[in-house]
Amino acid sequence: MKSIAFQWQGETVTGSLGTKVTKQGLYGYAKRIVEKDAQVLKKGYLSPEGQILERQEIDYAKVDPEGSVVDEVSTEIDGQPATLLPSAFDQENPLTPIPLEELVGFNTADVYPIVGLSLPAGLYQTEFSYRKSYSPREALLLIKTDSDTGFLLVGERKNTPFVGLQVIYDFFDAEGEEEDEDDLDFAMI
């Protein structure tokens, strides 16, 4: 559990963020272990020289297009230099209440349980990035009624236009319309 702080109506509200809810956590999983002669085999990489390298033996380097190592990397977004923003755990994240209907148009990618928040029940809008990031992701905080338990939903809004509250489908032909049916006569063949 990691401590996370939110800014709500001029006050700081702190809660504990649990681990991300995953399919493995919900449904379980099976781990496949490959053995040969009672020895557990590991994954590795085969180098061009024919050597087998384990994962921990490989390191990554940042290089320019010519292959020279670069110490400092500059990041640009739309041609402008981007600033690295702190993670959600290193700052107070502002909360804005929004109607519960906004949850319909939200495409959730990650779900985190939160306990210990003393907020009124409802839906709140904020931003979230687990690590330092150039562009934090949209997030919705859903607080249950009569409970200090909530869920942080991380994702993005879908651009879905709603025309009205009712959708009418015509699956069948309207009554009263008669179709011209041809009687088939297999003797005609």
What is the DSSP track for 76-91? EETTEE--PBPPTTSS
Domain assignment present for residue 119? The answer is yes
**Closest Cα to residue 1, out of 16, 21, 15?**
16
Sorting pLDDT into bands at 50, 70 and 90, what band is 51? confident
pLDDT of residue 29: 85
pLDDT of residue 154: 93
Name the domain count of the chain.
Answer: 1
pTM exceeds 0.85, yes or no: no
Mean pLDDT across 32-52: 85
- Residue 18's domain comprises 1-22+82-172
pLDDT tops 80 at residue 80: yes
pLDDT of residue 175: 58
pLDDT of residue 70: 82
Q: Which two tokens stand for residue 115?
A: 């306990």
Domain assignment present for residue 87? The answer is yes
- Who contacts 117 (Cβ-Cβ below 8 Å, separation ≥6)? 6, 13, 14, 15, 141, 143, 148, 150
The overall average pLDDT reported for the chain is 82
pLDDT of residue 178: 58
pLDDT tops 60 at residue 185: yes
